[in-house]
Amino acid sequence: LYINADLMQLKNQARISAGTAISGQGGNLVLKAQNLLMRQNSQIDTTAGQAGNGGNITIDSDLIEALENSDISADAGIGSGGNIQVTTQGLFGIAYRPQRT
């Protein structure tokens, strides 16, 4: 999935997601925006259900703001989780966590 926008705003549990339920590679996400604003439990994620690897997430945005328990993740049930690559000039509200909160 490729999204190119001036402003990308997710709020009130909004979600951009690519994945598979049982097997296969999770889908990849490429997001390009001048500003990416995430609030109120919003998510950007890729997942692979049971036997696949998680898809990759690439974000290119001048400003990224992820507040109020919003998350960016690339997971897999058994396989390897995907990679997350972020290119930005300003990143607010994101903190690495070794496990889900």
- Length in residues, the chain: 101
Residue range 51-73: average pLDDT?
A: 92
The neighbour count for residue 62, using CB atoms within 10 Å, is: 12
Which residues, in sequence order, are CB contacts of 96 under 8 Å at separation 6+?
none
Q: What tens digit of pLDDT does each residue of 20-50 get? A: 876 677 789 999 999 999 999 999 999 887 7
Mind listing the pLDDT tens digit for each residue in 72-91? 998 888 888 889 999 999 99
b/e map of 91-100 (b: 16 or more CB within 10 Å)?
Answer: eeebeeeeee
Quick check: pTM over 0.85? yes
pLDDT, tens digit, for every residue of 9-18? 999 999 999 8
